[in-house]
Structure 1
Amino acid sequence: MITYNPAFDLYHCIYRMAHIIERFNDGECFEIDKVRIWDFYLLFPSKLYNLSLKKTEKEVREARKQLAIIKNNPYDYSGDNRKLFEWIKPFQISALNCLVSCGIINKNEYLNNRVCIASRQALNDFVNQAGHFSPSENNTLSFMSIFSRHMSLSGIDGLKARTKLLEFKYDAE
């Protein structure tokens, strides 16, 4: 049986990364790993229920409930999320490299492990030609933006610790 998974499709990854970057404000930069984490949850939205939330983040819990995501999707990968995250890394990095070569992502910032928009016009042209996200994908991306836009990537309360997709114990605080 042949199956298709967009996680291992470079062209779909370029499409997703362009839509993620489109959410950035002008002059705003994020770490490559933060962008990769957002992409992971776009691919596997049911994994949002594995995020560790603080008790004080009631509005974030409510926003996650509003997404109406199937918790136990039988077609989702049920193994180790960290391994899956590492398996899709080459596709994510290749997609970001492609967007750098197209002049959409700032090359100098990218070489410093940060993703920034180099040309908003080129990005808008690309997204308009590629097509737009479905409402559920937009909702997932909006949730990730609300949840982690101002959150540090490292540290005890950082995005790496809350998702458990990357090692965080040895991060400098």
Structure 2
Amino acid sequence: MITYNEAFDINHTFYRILLLLNKMEQDSVEYERIRIWDFYMAFPYEIENIRFGVKPEDRQIKKLFPKKYNPYRKIINPRKLFERMSPYQLSAFNKLASYGIIDKSFHSTGRINVIDRNKLKLILEDMDISLENRESNVLKILTTYFYNMDFYGNNGLKARTNLSEFKYDE
């Protein structure tokens, strides 16, 4: 049986990353952070498994994603799936760099720097995007709440999502 998973589609990955970069107010973000965001764009129901803090704003965000059991969307090993997405994400970033939307030095710097927002907006206009409410909510939360969250350390995004190694971070 042939099945389709948008997480392993280079064009859909390109589309998700375009949406993230467009929604992001800042022009720079860690490469690993945007990879984590992309994972949650591909699998938005996995946000319910993030370890949230005890601050009132953390609880408010957590309430938006209540845990609902659904055997058809259960991911056995999210970390392994996240790593399997890596080559598709890298290809999408290389494509963005070749279009001149992001800086080509992201490999060496570990940061995605948007250098041409006009091209980014033009490509998105050509795509004629209409997002569902859940998608737009996830997009907004990822690019605001999760942007302001520390990335490293025991309470950082890497630790809370458990998608990549965080124990040896500074």
- TM exceeds 0.5? yes
8 A Cα contact 2:78 2:163, kept in partner? yes
Give 1:61 shift: 2.6
Q: Following superposition of structure 1 onto structure 2, how do residues 71-110 of structure 1 map, counting pairs within 5 Å? A: 71-109=68-106
Aligned-partner residue type, residue 135 of structure 1 = N
Secondary structure of 1:30's aligned partner: strand
- The residue correspondences of 1:137-152 to structure 2 (distance < 5 A) are 137-152=135-150
| Percent identity for Structure 1 against Structure 2 | 38
CA-CA distance at 1:109 after TM superposition: 4.7
CA distance in 2, matches of 1:13, 1:86: 14
**Aligned equivalents of 1:131 and 1:137: distance in 2?**
15
> What is the root-mean-square deviation of aligned Cα atoms in Å?
1.8
Contact 1:110 1:116 in 2 (8 A): no
What does residue range 14-163 of structure 1 map to in structure 2 within 5 Å?
Answer: 14-25=14-25, 28-56=27-55, 58-66=56-64, 71-109=68-106, 111-132=108-129, 133-163=131-161
Contact 1:7 1:88 in 2 (8 A): yes
Give TM-score scaled by structure 1 length: 0.89
Structure 1 segments of 4+ aligned residues over 3 angstroms from their partners: 108-111
Kindly indicate whether the alpha-carbon contact (under 8 Å) linking 2:52 and 2:62 is maintained by their aligned counterparts in 1: no
Tell me, which stretches of 5 or more residues in structure 1 are unaligned?
none
**Aligned positions, number:** 169
* 1:142-168: CA deviation from partner (whole Å, max 9, x where unpaired): 122232112222111111011000110
Give the 3-state SS of the residue equivalent to 2:112 in structure 1. Answer: strand
Q: CA 1:119–1:8 in 2, change beyond 3 Å: closer, same or farther? A: same
Look up the equivalent residue of 2:128 and give its one-letter code: G
